[in-house]
């Protein structure tokens, strides 16, 4: 919604997310931990263009939209897990 209220010269995708770098494995392990799950992670061969770490560059969001993350990754995951637990109950 905020992008609709920006100057016309602002177009294109905008990265949103945590500024804390995390591996996909760490993210999966954190989700399992927060869910209290005893499941294990099933590792499969990675595709050629696979990037094992994720940390979005939110410079554009910060500079053009005045956006900064206000929720930690852990808290966001907790909220998301809680939402889906209720929605799928």
76 CB contacts (<8 Å, ≥6 apart)? 18
CA angle 84, 88, 81 (to 5 degrees): 20
Asked whether residue 55 carries a pLDDT value surpassing 90, the answer given is no
Q: Give me the pLDDT at residue 1, please.
A: 62
* C-alpha span between 16 and 68 (Å, rounded): 8
Domain ranges of the chain: 2-87
Domain 2-87 has CATH 3.40.50.920: no
> Is the predicted pLDDT of residue 2 greater than 80, yes or no?
no
Residues whose CB falls within 8 Å of the CB of residue 48, separated by 6 or more in sequence, listed in order: none
- Write out pLDDT tens, residues 14-33: 888 888 888 888 999 999 99
- Mean pLDDT of the chain, nearest integer: 86
Mean pLDDT of the region 38-57: 84
């Amino acid at each position: 919604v905020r992008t609709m209220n920006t100057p016309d010269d602002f177009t294109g995708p905008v990265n949103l997310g945590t500024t804390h770098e995390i591996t996909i494995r760490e993210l999966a392990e954190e989700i399992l931990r927060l869910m209290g799950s005893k499941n294990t992670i099933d590792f499969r061969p990675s595709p050629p263009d696979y990037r094992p770490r994720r940390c979005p560059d939110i410079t554009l969001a910060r500079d053009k939209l005045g956006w900064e993350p206000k929720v930690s990754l852990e808290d966001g995951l907790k909220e998301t897990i809680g939402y889906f637990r209720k929605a799928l109950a």
